Amino acid sequence: MSKVKSIEDLMKIKEKALKELQLRDTGKRGKITVAMGTCGIAAGAKETLKAVVEALAENNINDIAVVQSGCMGLCEVEPTIEVRLEGQEPVVYGHVTPENAKRIVKLHILGNQIVSDLLVRKGEM
């Protein structure tokens, strides 16, 4: 650890540590649910989950919670994720490989447009 010499140093530490803490905040704009049933895990949901978190971190998005759930019954299109933004209908995507996960974060979370080629279902069940 190096010494803190100025308020700027202090701010830097604060911002970095704050990001870690915010992960636990519940006051979020939306959430991404990764289905982690046995089927999901077998299809690579763990990598997907990791990719989602990384993509969010890379793009400095900290108001989206990442939550895991059980199988949502769409085993043939696993790994699946559900994107739920405040005030919008939830969207379920299928075949979400790590690359696709990054694409979803970029287009859907940042650009607010649905990635139609991966779309499985739109709206509440």
Partner 1 sequence: MKPILVLVSVDSNSVLLGAKQFVNYLREALEKYNLKDSVDVLETGSMGVYTQGVVMAVFPDDVYYSVRSVADVEKIVSEHLLKGRPVLSLEIPRERLKLVVEKEKVTEEVRIVLRNIGVIDPRSIDQYIARDGYFALHKALFEMKPEQVIETIKESGLRGRGGAGFPTGLKWQFTAKAQADQKYVVCNADEGEPGTFKDRLIMEGDPHSVIEAMIICGYAVGATKGYIYIRGEYYGSVENIQKAIKDAYDYGFLGENILGSGFSFDLTVRLGAGAYVCGEETALLESIEGKSGRPRLKPPYPPTNGLFGKPTVINNVETFANVPQIILNGANWFKQFGTQGSPGTKVFSLVGNVVRRGIVEVPMGVTVRELIYKFGGGLVGGKQLYMVQTGGTAGTFIGVDKLDVPLHYESFRDHGVSIGSGVILAMDEDVCPVDVALNTMEFFEHESCGKCTPCREGTRLAVEILRRMSRGQGKREDLDTLRQIAITTQEASLCGLGQSINVPLLSILDNFREEFLAHIGATACPRGVCRFEKPVTKVKTRV
Q: Which residues bind partner 1 (CB under 8 A)?
A: 1, 3-7, 10, 13-21, 23-24, 26, 31, 34-38, 41, 46, 49-50, 52-53, 57, 65-70
Tell me whether residue 9 or residue 89 sits nearer to partner 1 (CB atom).
9
Tell me whether residue 15 or residue 124 sits nearer to partner 1 (CB atom).
15
3-state SS class at 80: coil
State how far the Cα of 120 lies from the Cα of 75, in Å rounded to an integer. 12
Tell me whether residue 67 or residue 114 sits nearer to partner 1 (CB atom).
67
Tell me whether residue 4 or residue 119 sits nearer to partner 1 (CB atom).
4
Is the torsion defined by CA of 87, 92, 93, 96 positive or negative?
positive
Shortest separation between residue 117's beta carbon and partner 1, angstroms = 25
* Residue pointed to by tokens 């900290």: 62
Shortest separation between residue 66's beta carbon and partner 1, angstroms = 5
Give kind and range of the element (H or E) at residue 38: helix 38-42
Shortest separation between residue 6's beta carbon and partner 1, angstroms = 7
Distances (CA, A) of 44 to 89, 93, 94, 99: 26, 14, 12, 12
